[in-house]
C-alpha cells in the first residue's frame, strides 16, 4: 500500500523494528499490525491482519530471514516469507489464554541454538532446528518471582539475562550441567546420617560408603538402591554395635580385600566372596595399636599402613606386622592423630595429622630403628597446616596438602617446606575438604563454597588456569564431606551429606566459565566527597573527564585522602569477584581487596607521579585487567613546589658561599688562636726559667752580699720581664674573650693612693714629680675589680713616666660620687700628634718609644683600653704634641651596674697583689690574697695522729731539674726536703714518709700537680697534708680549679723564695695552731667551757662553726635518730652546704663528725666512771645496740670499750 507521500506512522504506537537483508524496515505496532518501509522508494506497505487485535508487539528476524512475531494475547507467529507482503506464509504456535499469550521480546542464543522469549508468565524456549517443535516453558530457573519479565537478552556464552518487574536483573546459564547428583534412598532405614564419611567404588556402579555416625552402606547408582550394615552380603556376622560407629576410610587392597576403618572397633576386612571379619587390638595387637582407626593405605610394596588416633602400624603382604614407634632421638610423634596416608614417587610415606601437621616417614617399616622422620607444621599469615587432613602427590611430582584451617599447601623442595596457596590462588574460604587429580593432570578441590579446578603449568609450580563452580553451575546446594573422594576411570566422585556428586573432567571443563566482563572505574572520592558532589573548580583541577573515562588524576596537596572505586560488570554472584590494585611508585606488590571491597584508598601520599593498575577476578579464576592505567599526580605543598625548590637552591648556593666565607674566617681565627696558644705556652715556659734565675739571685745574695747593686738590677729586670709576660697573657685572654670581671666592695681612695705610692720609686728614679689629688671627705667605699683597676693604673702611670722627661711632673686626680669614679692622669711629657692618637689603642703600636730610649711593646694601652671596657667604663685621651698627655678613666662604682655573676658572692673585701716597682733596692713587702692566707684543712679528732717533730718534712715536686735542685738547696736550710720529678714519684714518697707539707708544680709529665693533689686529698690517710701548687698559669679559673680540688696555696711563677718560705711557714703554723684548738674544743665538755675560751673561738669563722656544730651534736647526743638531715636543719644550712663546710674544716663527712663527738663523749663518760655499763654508755651517746657502739669505738680508738674500761680500772 502506498503511503500517498505522507507519513502514516505519526499516530501509530510502534513497538518493534527490524531490518532485513535488503535494507527494508519491518515495523511492529500495538494495534496497527505489521508494516514494511521500502528502502528505495521510502514507501510504507501493510501486511495482512495478524489477529483480532492486529498486534505485533515484538519482532525477531533469524538468519534464514524468517520473521518471528510476538503478539499481545495471541502467542507467537512465524512468517516464513516476510518479503511477500500480500501472501505471506504464517505459522501460528499454539497457546492458551492464561499461559504464554503475551510475548515481550524474542532473542536467539547461538550456544543452545534456541529461540528464547520472555512473557508475563515466565520464560519459554524453542529449538528451531527440531521439526514441529513447540515452545516450552523453561523451568530450571525456579521461583515465582520470575513472572512478569519485561526484557530478555543473550551474551553468546549460553547465558540469558532477564529484566524482571520487581527483582532486578537475573543471569541464567542455559547450558546442560556436567555435574550429577545421586541421592541415597534412606526411607527404609532408621539410621540418622549426618554425612557420607568415606567413599569407594570398583566398577563405577556400586559404591561402598562410610557413614557418620552409623556404619556402612552399599549404593547402586543404576538402580538407586541402598543396603545398610548387616543388610549387605557378608556382613551378617559383624556385630551390630561394631556397625554403629563412623567409618572414616575405605581402602581396596591389591588382593581384593576391602578395609573399612572404624572410629571405635579397629578395622573391618571384607575379602572377595567371603564374610567380613574384624581386626582389633584385643585379637591382633601387633596390627592394631588401638581400636580408634582413622585411615588405611596400601603402599606400592603392598604393605598396609594403618593410621590411628594415637600412632601408626603396618602389615605387609606376608602378614608381618609392626607397630611404628614414630620416635627418633628427641623426636616423638607417637601420639599423632593420623587422618590420611600417601606415598610419593621416591617411596616416602606422608602422614597428614590433626595435631602434628605433616610428617614424612622414610625407611623400612619393619625396622623401627631404620625409620627417619621430618615434621612440617608451619603457620604462614594465619594459614596453618597443623590440622592437616590429606597429602597427595600429582603426576608432575608436586606434593599437595590440605588442612581444616589453612586450606591448600604446596611443598617447596628447595626450602623443604609447605607453602600456603589459598591467598595466591584466591580460593574461597580457609578450608579445603578434599583433593584429587583427574587423568588430564588437573586438580579438583572441594571447599565450603565451591568446587575448584586448577590446571598447573607444565614443569612449573604456577597455575595456568583456575575455575570455580558453584550452585549456579548446577552444583545445587551440595555440602561436601571432608576427605571423601574417589575415582573410576575418568569419572570423579565426591561425597556430600546424603548424596554422591560426580562429573567427568575433559579438555572443555571450565571453558564455559571463560566469559570476560568489563572492568570499569565507577567513582573518585576526594576527602569523603564523591566526584559528582565536588564543585566545578575542584572537578576541573582533579580530572578533565568523568571517573569512568579519566586517564589522569591530579590530587591537590590539601587533599588528605582519596579513593578510586571500580567494579567488574558481572550480574551474577558479585560476592565472588576479587579485586586487586597496585600503585606503581608506592606499592611493591599487588594489594588485594577483601570482603567484597572494590576500591583503592590512599591517604597522605607523598607528592610525586604514580601509575595505578587495577585487575579483577570474575569468580571463575580468570583475571581481567583494566585496559588502561591511570596516572596519578600528587601535587606538593606550597613549600615543596618548584618555585620554592628554586628558592631553596638559591639559599643552598648562598649557604655554600656563606659557609666558604665562614670557613675562611674560621681558618683565620683558628690560626690566630693557634698562634695565641703558642704564645701563651711560650709565655708560661719563660716563667719557669725566670723562677730559676730569681732563685739563683736569692742564693747569691746570701753567698756574696757585696754585689747588692748588681742583684738589684737583676731583680728589676726579672720583675719587668715578668710584668711583660703577664701583660701578654692578659692580652691573650682578652683576645679569647676569657677576661672575667669580679667586683667587690673596697676603699677606692686607699686603693688609688697605694697604687700611686707603689710606682713612686720609678718616678723618683726618673726625677719626675708625682702628685695625687683625692677626696678629703666622704666614704671611699666603691664596687670595683681590684685586679683590673690595678692593671689600668699601672699601665697608665708607667706609660706617663716612660714618655716624660727628667724634671717633669705627673698629676693624678681622683673624683668620686655615688655613680662613678673618675681618675685622670696628666703629664707634661712629649705629647702625641693627632695621627698618633688615632692608633693609640692599636695593639703593638710602638708610639716612638725608641726615640725616648724607653722599653715598650705597644700592648699596654691596648690592654688598658680592653680592661676599662670590661669594667663598663670609658677612657679618653687628650694630648698636644710637645706639651703633654691626659688620660681620663671613668668606671661605675654602684653594685647595680654589674651583672650578678660579676659580683664576688663571698661578701669579703678582697686585697690584691699591687704592682710593686723596684728602684734602688728590692722590697720584701707581700700582700697575699685573702683566700690564700689561711687555706688549710683541719686534722681529724684523733690524738694519735698529731705527730710533732722539730724539723718539718716537706716534699718538693718539680720536673725542671735546675729549679728542683735550687729549691732543694734553699729549702734544706730550714726543712727536711724530699724531691720528686712527677706526681707518680711523689705518691711513692708520700706513702713511705710522714710528711708535713707538699710543694708541687702543676704541669708535669706522667702525673701532673692537679691529679697529685686530688690523690692526696682523696685519701683518708693523707687528706690533712697541706699542698702548695706552683704554676705559670695565673687565670682566675686556674686558681679556682686548684682550690676546688683541695690545694692550700697557689703561687704563680716566677716567685720569690721569700714568698714561698713565708707561705710554707704560715701553713705549718696555722695547721699546728688549729690542731691544738680543735683538740681542746673536743676534749672540753659543753658545760665546762669558759667565756674567754668561747670568745677566743668565735674570733675565727671556721672555729666558730666547729663550736656551734659541736654544741648541736651535744644537745642531741642521746638521740639515735639524729642524722645528717636533722643536723642540717639545726645548723640552718642545706645538706650539701653543710657537708662541704664540715669536709672543708675537718676533712670528715657529716656522719664521721657526729660519730667522732659521740665517741669522745663516750670516752669521757668511761674515764669519769670506769664501772659504768657499756650498754648505758651506748644509749647515752645515741646508739641503739651495744654491739654497733663497740664496733665504732674500736674503729675510733683501736680498742673495744670493755677492754678500755678494764684498763681504766687497773690504772
C-alpha cell of residue 324: 611404628
Q: Model confidence at 845, in pLDDT bands (50, 70, 90)?
A: low
Tell me what pLDDT residue 727 has: 65
Q: Model confidence at 412, in pLDDT bands (50, 70, 90)?
A: very high
* pLDDT surpassing 70 at residue 763: yes
| 879 SS3 class | strand
Tell me what pLDDT residue 1098 has: 35
Tell me what pLDDT residue 734 has: 64
pLDDT in tens, 1048-1097: 888 887 777 788 888 898 888 877 776 565 555 544 433 444 434 433 33
Beta bridge partners of 885: 827, 879
CA distance between the termini of the chain: 166
Q: Model confidence at 1145, in pLDDT bands (50, 70, 90)?
A: confident
Percent of the chain, pLDDT > 70?
82
Q: Is 326:351 a contact under the CB 8 Å cutoff?
A: no
Average pLDDT over residues 941-968: 69
Is the C-alpha dihedral spanning 814, 815, 817, 822 positive or negative? negative
C-alpha cell of residue 562: 582519596
Name the strand (E) or helix (H) holding 327: strand 327-328
| 924 SS3 class | coil
Tell me what pLDDT residue 339 has: 95
Rg of the chain over CA atoms, in angstroms? 59
Average pLDDT over residues 960-977: 86
Residue written as cell 695552731? 1073
Beta bridge partners of 308: 293, 311
C-alpha cell of residue 124: 519459554
The rounded distance, in Å, linking the Cα atoms of 1063 and 255 is: 121
Average pLDDT over residues 589-606: 87
627 burial (CB, 10 Å; 0-12 / 13-18 / 19+) is exposed
Tell me what pLDDT residue 933 has: 31
- Edge-first strand listing for the sheet containing 884-892: 769-773, 809-816, 820-827, 884-892, 874-880
| 1119 SS3 class | coil
4 burial (CB, 10 Å; 0-12 / 13-18 / 19+) is exposed
Name the strand (E) or helix (H) holding 960: none
pLDDT in tens, 931-944: 333 333 322 322 22
- Helix, strand and coil content of the chain, in percent to the nearest 5, comes to 30, 30, 40
The rounded distance, in Å, linking the Cα atoms of 1066 and 1072 is: 10
Average pLDDT over residues 53-64: 89
* pLDDT surpassing 80 at residue 705: no
Q: How far is CA 929 from the centre of its chain?
A: 58
C-alpha cell of residue 553: 588524576
334 burial (CB, 10 Å; 0-12 / 13-18 / 19+) is middle
Beta bridge partners of 408: 402
| 523 SS3 class | strand
Beta bridge partners of 782: 746
Q: How far is CA 603 from the centre of its chain?
A: 22
* pLDDT surpassing 50 at residue 915: no
The rounded distance, in Å, linking the Cα atoms of 747 and 815 is: 13
Residue 294 — φ and ψ, nearest 5°?
-95, -40
Q: Is 218:227 a contact under the CB 8 Å cutoff?
A: yes
Q: Is 69:50 a contact under the CB 8 Å cutoff?
A: yes
| 11 SS3 class | coil
pLDDT in tens, 236-249: 999 988 988 899 99
Higher pLDDT, 779 or 1126: 1126
The rounded distance, in Å, linking the Cα atoms of 755 and 890 is: 17
Q: Is 374:359 a contact under the CB 8 Å cutoff?
A: yes
Residue written as cell 603457620? 379
Q: How far is CA 869 from the centre of its chain?
A: 53
**Lowest mean pLDDT across 10-19, 140-149, 374-383, 913-922:** 913-922
Tell me what pLDDT residue 149 has: 67
Average pLDDT over residues 299-308: 95
The rounded distance, in Å, linking the Cα atoms of 804 and 759 is: 15
Q: Model confidence at 610, in pLDDT bands (50, 70, 90)?
A: very high
Average pLDDT over residues 435-442: 93
The rounded distance, in Å, linking the Cα atoms of 967 and 1057 is: 8
| pTM flag (> 0.85) | no
Tell me what pLDDT residue 367 has: 84
* pLDDT surpassing 70 at residue 146: no
Q: Is 33:27 a contact under the CB 8 Å cutoff?
A: no
Cα separations in angstroms, 611 against 552, 626, 629, 631, 633: 9, 12, 7, 5, 9
Average pLDDT over residues 86-97: 80
Average pLDDT over residues 841-854: 51
Q: Is 418:377 a contact under the CB 8 Å cutoff?
A: no
Higher pLDDT, 1061 or 471: 1061
C-alpha cell of residue 222: 543404576
The rounded distance, in Å, linking the Cα atoms of 114 and 135 is: 10
* pLDDT surpassing 90 at residue 433: yes
* pLDDT surpassing 70 at residue 675: no
Q: Is 1002:960 a contact under the CB 8 Å cutoff?
A: no
Q: Is 36:85 a contact under the CB 8 Å cutoff?
A: yes
pLDDT in tens, 219-239: 998 888 889 899 999 999 999
Residue 674 — φ and ψ, nearest 5°?
-65, -45
Higher pLDDT, 1086 or 672: 672
| 69 SS3 class | strand
Cα separations in angstroms, 1182 against 598, 991, 1122, 1177: 85, 36, 8, 9
Is the C-alpha dihedral spanning 474, 477, 478, 481 positive or negative? positive
How much is the mean pLDDT over the chain? Answer: 81
C-alpha cell of residue 680: 701563651
Average pLDDT over residues 45-51: 90
* pLDDT surpassing 60 at residue 2: no
Q: Which residues contact 901 (CB under 8 A, 6 or more apart)?
A: none
Closest CA to 596 of 572, 574, 571: 574
Strands (E), 751-806: 769-773, 781-784
The rounded distance, in Å, linking the Cα atoms of 1152 and 1157 is: 9
Cα separations in angstroms, 346 against 298, 353, 461: 15, 21, 19
Average pLDDT over residues 370-390: 83
**Lowest mean pLDDT across 336-340, 387-391, 915-919:** 915-919
Average pLDDT over residues 399-406: 92
The rounded distance, in Å, linking the Cα atoms of 632 and 612 is: 7
Beta bridge partners of 753: none
Higher pLDDT, 678 or 1131: 1131
What DSSP string describes 582-647?
Answer: EEETT-SSPEEE-TT--EEEEESPPSEEEEEEEEEE-SSS-EEE-SS-EEEEEPPPGGGSHHHHHH
Residue 661 — φ and ψ, nearest 5°?
-65, -40
* pLDDT surpassing 60 at residue 1177: yes
* pLDDT surpassing 90 at residue 1027: yes
Percent of the chain, pLDDT > 90?
32
* pLDDT surpassing 70 at residue 335: yes
Q: At what angle do helices 748-765 and 786-802 cross, to 10 degrees?
A: 30
* pLDDT surpassing 80 at residue 575: no
- Edge-first strand listing for the sheet containing 953-957: 976-980, 953-957, 997-1001, 1027-1031, 1049-1052
Q: Pairing mode, if any, of strands 744-747 and 623-625?
A: unpaired
Q: Model confidence at 267, in pLDDT bands (50, 70, 90)?
A: very high
652 burial (CB, 10 Å; 0-12 / 13-18 / 19+) is exposed
Closest CA to 56 of 96, 117, 103: 103
Average pLDDT over residues 659-674: 75
C-alpha cell of residue 596: 567484597
Q: Is 59:17 a contact under the CB 8 Å cutoff?
A: yes
Residues recorded for the chain: 1211
Is the C-alpha dihedral spanning 1021, 1025, 1031, 1035 positive or negative? positive
Ranges 382-386, 399-403, 627-631, 911-915, most confident: 399-403
**Lowest mean pLDDT across 265-274, 573-582, 1022-1031, 1109-1118:** 573-582
pLDDT in tens, 501-551: 899 987 655 554 555 568 889 999 999 999 999 998 889 989 989 998 899
Give the helix ranges, DSSP H, for 382-453.
Answer: 422-425
Tell me what pLDDT residue 937 has: 31
Q: Model confidence at 614, in pLDDT bands (50, 70, 90)?
A: very high
Higher pLDDT, 851 or 943: 851
Q: Which residues contact 941 (CB under 8 A, 6 or more apart)?
A: 1078, 1079, 1082, 1146, 1156, 1157, 1160
Amino acid at each position: 500500500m502506498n503511503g500517498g507521500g505522507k507519513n502514516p506512522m505519526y499516530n501509530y504506537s510502534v513497538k518493534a523494528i527490524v531490518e532485513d537483508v535488503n535494507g527494508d524496515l519491518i515495523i511492529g505496532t500495538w494495534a496497527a499490525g505489521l508494516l514494511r518501509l521500502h528502502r528505495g522508494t521510502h514507501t510504507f506497505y501493510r501486511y495482512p491482519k495478524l489477529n483480532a487485535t492486529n498486534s505485533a508487539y515484538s519482532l525477531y528476524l533469524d538468519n534464514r530471514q524468517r520473521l518471528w512475531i510476538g503478539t499481545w494475547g495471541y502467542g507467537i507467529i512465524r512468517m516464513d516469507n516476510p518479503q511477500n507482503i500480500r501472501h505471506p506464509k504464517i505459522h501460528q504456535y499454539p497457546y492458551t489464554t492464561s499461559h504464554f499469550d503475551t510475548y515481550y521480546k524474542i532473542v536467539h542464543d547461538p550456544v543452545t541454538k534456541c529461540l528464547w522469549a520472555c512473557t508475563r508468565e515466565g520464560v519459554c524456549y524453542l529449538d528451531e532446528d527440531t521439526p514441529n517443535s513447540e515452545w516450552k516453558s523453561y523451568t530450571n530457573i525456579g521461583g515465582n518471582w520470575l513472572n512478569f519479565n519485561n526484557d530478555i537478552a543473550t551474551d553468546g556464552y549460553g547465558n540469558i539475562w532477564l529484566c524482571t518487574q520487581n527483582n532486578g536483573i537475573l543471569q541464567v546459564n542455559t547450558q546442560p550441567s556436567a555435574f550429577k547428583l545421586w541421592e541415597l534412598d534412606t526411607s527404609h532405614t532408621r539410621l540418622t546420617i549426618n554425612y557420607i564419611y568415606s567413599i569407594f567404588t570398583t566398577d563405577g556402579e556400586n559404591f561402598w560408603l562410610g557413614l557418620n555416625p552409623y556404619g556402612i552402606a552399599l549404593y547402586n547408582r543404576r538402580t538407586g538402591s541402598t543396603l545398610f550394615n548387616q543388610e549387605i552380603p557378608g556382613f551378617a556376622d559383624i556385630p551390630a554395635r561394631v556397625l554403629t560407629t563412623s567409618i572414616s576410610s575405605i581402602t581396596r587392597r591389591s588382593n581384593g580385600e576391602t578395609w573399612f576403618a572404624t572410629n571405635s572397633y579397629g578395622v573391618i576386612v571384607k575379602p572377595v566372596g567371603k564374610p567380613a571379619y574384624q581386626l582389633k587390638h584385643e585379637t591382633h595387637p601387633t596390627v592394631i595399636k588401638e581400636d580408634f582407626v582413622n585411615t588405611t593405605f596400601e603402599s606400592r610394596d603392598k604393605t598396609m599402613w594403618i593410621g590411628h588416633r594415637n600412632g601408626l602400624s603396618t602389615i605387609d603382604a606376608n602378614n608381618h606386622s609392626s607397630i611404628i614407634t614414630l620416635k627418633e632421638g628427641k623426636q616423638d610423634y607417637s601420639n599423632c592423630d593420623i587422618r590420611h596416608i600417601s606415598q610419593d614417587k621416591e617411596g616416602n610415606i606422608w602422614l597428614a595429622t590433626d595435631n602434628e601437621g605433616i610428617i614424612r616417614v622414610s625407611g623400612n617399616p619393619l625396622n623401627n630403628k631404620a625409620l627417619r622422620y621430618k615434621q612440617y607444621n608451619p603457620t604462614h599469615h594465619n594459614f596453618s597446616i597443623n590440622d592437616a587432613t590429606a597429602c597427595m602427590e600429582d603426576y608432575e611430582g608436586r606434593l599437595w596438602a590440605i588442612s581444616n584451617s589453612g586450606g591448600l599447601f604446596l611443598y617447596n623442595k628447595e626450602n623443604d617446606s609447605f607453602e600456603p596457596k589459598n591467598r595466591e590462588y584466591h580460593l574461597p574460604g580457609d578450608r579445603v575438604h578434599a583433593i584429587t587429580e583427574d587423568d588430564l593432570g588437573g586438580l579438583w578441590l572441594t571447599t565450603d563454597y565451591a568446587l575448584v579446578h586448577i590446571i598447573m603449568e607444565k614443569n612449573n609450580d604456577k597455575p595456568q588456569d583456575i575455575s570455580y563452580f558453584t550452585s549456579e553451575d548446577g552444583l545445587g546446594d551440595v555440602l561436601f564431606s571432608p576427605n571423601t573422594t574417589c575415582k573410576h576411570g575418568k569419572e570423579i566422585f565426591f561425597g556430600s551429606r546424603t548424596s554422591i556428586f560426580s562429573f567427568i573432567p575433559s579438555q572443555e571443563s571450565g571453558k564455559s566459565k571463560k566469559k570476560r566482563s568489563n572492568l570499569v572505574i565507577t567513582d573518585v572520592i576526594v576527602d569523603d566527597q564523591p566526584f559528582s558532589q565536588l564543585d566545578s573548580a575542584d572537578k576541573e583541577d582533579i580530572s578533565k573527564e568523568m571517573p569512568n573515562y579519566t586517564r589522569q588524576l591530579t590530587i591537590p596537596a590539601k587533599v588528605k585522602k582519596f579513593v578510586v572505586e571500580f567494579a567488574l560488570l558481572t550480574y551474577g554472584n558479585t560476592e565472588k569477584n576479587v579485586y586487586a590494585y597496585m600503585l606503581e611508585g608506592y606499592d611493591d606488590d599487588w594489594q588485594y581487596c577483601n570482603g567484597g571491597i572494590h576500591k583503592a584508598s590512599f591517604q597522605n601520599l607523598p607528592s610525586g607521579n604514580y601509575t595505578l593498575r587495577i585487575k579483577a577476578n570474575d569468580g571463575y579464576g580468570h583475571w581481567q585487567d583494566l585496559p588502561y592505567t591511570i596516572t596519578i599526580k600528587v601535587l606538593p605543598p606550597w613549600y615543596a613546589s618548584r618555585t620554592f625548590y628554586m628558592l631553596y637552591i638559591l639559599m643552598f648556593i648562598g649557604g655554600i658561599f656563606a659557609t666558604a666565607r665562614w670557613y675562611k674566617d674560621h681558618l683565620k681565627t683558628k690560626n690566630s688562636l693557634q698562634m695565641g696558644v703558642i704564645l701563651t705556652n711560650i709565655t708560661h715556659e719563660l716563667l719557669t726559667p725566670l723562677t730559676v734565675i730569681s732563685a739563683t739571685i736569692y742564693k747569691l745574695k746570701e753567698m756574696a752580699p757585696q754585689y747588692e747593686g748588681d742583684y738589684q738590677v737583676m731583680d728589676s729586670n726579672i720583675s719587668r720581664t715578668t710584668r711583660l709576660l703577664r701583660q701578654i697573657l692578659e692580652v691573650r685572654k682578652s683576645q679569647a674573650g676569657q677576661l672575667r670581671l669580679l667586683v667587690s666592695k673596697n676603699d677606692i681612695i686607699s686603693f688609688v693612693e697605694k697604687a700611686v705610692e707603689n710606682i713612686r720609686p720609678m718616678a723618683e728614679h726618673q726625677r719626675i714629680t708625682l702628685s695625687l689629688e683625692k677626696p678629703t671627705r666622704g666614704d671611699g667605699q666603691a664596687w670595683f675589680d681590684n685586679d683590673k683597676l690595678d692593671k689600668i693604673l699601672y699601665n697608665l702611670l708607667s706609660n706617663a713616666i716612660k714618655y716624660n722627661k727628667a724634671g717633669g711632673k705627673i698629676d693624678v686626680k681622683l673624683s668620686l660620687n655615688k655613680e662613678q669614679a673618675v681618675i685622670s692622669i696628666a703629664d707634661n711629657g712629649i705629647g702625641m700628634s693627632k695621627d698618633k692618637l688615632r692608633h693609640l689603642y692599636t695593639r703593638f703600636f710602638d708610639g716612638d718609644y725608641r726615640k725616648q730610649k724607653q722599653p715598650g711593646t705597644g700592648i699596654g694601652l691596648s690592654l688598658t683600653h680592653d680592661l676599662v671596657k670590661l669594667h663598663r667604663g670609658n677612657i679618653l685621651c687628650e694630648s698636644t704634641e710637645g706639651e703633654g698627655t691626659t688620660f681620663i678613666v671613668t668606671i661605675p662604682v654602684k653594685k647595680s651596674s654589674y651583672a650578678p655573676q660579676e659580683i664576688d658572692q663571698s661578701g669579703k673585701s678582697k686585697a690584691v697583689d699591687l704592682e710593686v716597682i723596684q728602684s734602688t733596692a728590692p722590697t720584701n713587702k707581700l700582700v697575699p690574697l685573702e683566700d690564700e692566707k689561711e687555706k688549710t684543712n683541719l686534722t681529724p679528732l684523733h690524738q694519735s695522729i698529731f705527730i710533732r717533730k722539730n724539723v718539718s718534712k716537706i716534699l718538693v715536686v718539680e720536673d725542671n731539674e735546675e729549679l728542683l735542685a735550687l729549691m732543694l738547696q734553699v729549702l734544706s736550710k730550714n726543712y727536711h726536703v724530699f724531691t720528686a720529678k712527677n706526681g707518680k714519684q711523689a705518691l711513692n714518697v708520700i706513702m713511705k714518709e710522714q710528711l708535713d707539707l707538699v710543694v708541687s708544680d702543676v704541669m708535669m709529665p706522667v702525673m701532673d700537680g692537679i691529679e697529685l693533689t686530688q690523690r692526696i686529698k682523696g685519701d683518708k690517710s693523707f687528706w690533712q697534708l697541706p699542698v702548695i701548687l706552683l704554676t705559670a698559669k695565673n687565670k682566675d679559673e686556674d686558681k679556682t680549679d686548684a682550690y676546688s680540688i683541695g690545694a692550700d696555696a697557689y703561687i704563680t711563677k716566677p716567685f720569690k723564695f721569700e714568698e714561698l718560705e713565708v707561705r710554707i711557714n704560715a701553713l705549718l703554723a696555722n695547721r699546728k695552731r688549729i690542731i691544738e684548738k680543735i683538740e681542746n674544743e673536743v676534749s672540753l665538755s659543753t658545760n665546762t667551757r669558759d667565756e674567754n675560751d668561747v670568745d677566743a673561738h668565735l674570733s675565727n669563722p671556721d672555729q666558730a662553726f666547729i663550736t656551734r656544730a659541736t654544741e648541736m651534736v651535744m644537745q642531741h647526743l642521746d638521740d639515735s635518730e639524729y642524722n645528717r638531715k636533722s643536723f642540717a636543719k639545726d645548723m640552718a644550712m642545706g645538706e650539701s652546704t653543710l657537708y662541704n663546710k664540715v669536709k672543708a674544716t675537718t676533712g670528715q663527712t657529716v656522719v664521721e663528725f657526729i660519730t667522732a663527738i659521740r665517741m669522745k663523749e663516750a670516752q669521757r663518760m668511761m674515764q669519769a666512771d670506769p664501772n659504768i655499763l657499756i650498754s648505758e654508755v651506748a644509749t647515752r651517746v645515741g646508739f641503739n645496740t651495744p654491739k654497733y657502739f663497740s664496733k665504732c669505738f674500736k674503729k675510733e680508738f683501736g680498742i673495744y670499750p670493755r677492754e678500755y674500761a678494764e684498763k681504766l680500772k687497773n690504772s
